[in-house]
Structure 1
């Protein structure tokens, strides 16, 4: 089994317009000066024991909220970072984007509307480059597409 570098996984964003059902074709890659992207996915579970078992609770995953947390240095001229930075003082639909994740092997992608929160676009020590970070959480399960052609 091959091990793949995280840098091969693609994260792309684009502006969301309220009422828009599908994203457009023009994506902005969120990569320049991004040094790490964490997986901040949250799952909710329920434990239930049944009489047809031995009383040991079974765990069911009842919801999944996929999320990523890119971090790095802020470049206000990078289109993807600028799109997110310009949302900092917005609420509601002003924090919505389309998010696309392409697997490191290029065989699958996940696309969906997402909400951006915890935006940092310019902060840090005086002697350091400005920080950039945010949380991008899918609003529902993203649409998975097989790109392998198999």
Structure 2
């Protein structure tokens, strides 16, 4: 079984109206965390033994990004420009390319963009979260050769 480095998963952002994410989030990004939120209900039924079953009601797929800010990087600037926006102006097109060859993309919302802060001796902090607004469209890439570098 092959193992792939997390850095081989690619994340892109772009304009919602164009439905194209062509700005890669990579430079100075140190960590991407899956902060998915699932709404789950538990119910027990008489046709079982009384043990509650879990039923997933909704899935909100969300990723939190963290690293250092670079004003010259177009993807960083794109996120930073959303800092004071609200409502529909925080909507973007978000794409993830997984090492399996799957491409997930669709409309998303950026929350909590931070482009400054920290100790004086540190580089500028950069963090934000992106959550798809609905289940993303899932397709396979034309180059379905897997993730590339194993490690």
Q: Tell me by how many angstroms 1:146 deviates.
A: 2.1
- Within 2, Cα distance between the matches of 1:114 and 1:98? 6
Tell whether 2:136 aligns with 1:142.
yes
Q: Equivalences for 1:42-53 in 2 at 5 Å?
A: 42-53=37-48
State the Cα deviation string for residues 67-94 of structure 1 (Å, max 9, x = none). Answer: 1111100001111110110000010111
Return the alpha-carbon distance in structure 1 between the equivalents of residues 32 and 115 of structure 2: 16
Partner of 1:86: 81
How large is the RMSD of aligned CA atoms in angstroms? 1.4
For residues 1-150 of structure 1, what are the structure 2 equivalents within 5 Å? 1-17=1-17, 23-24=19-20, 27-105=22-100, 107-147=101-141, 148=144
Aligned length: 143
Q: Is the 8 A contact 1:15 1:83 kept in 2?
A: no
Runs (5+) with no aligned partner, structure 1: none
Deviation of residue 16 (structure 1)?
1.7
5+ residue gaps, structure 2, are 146-151
1:104 positional shift: 2.2
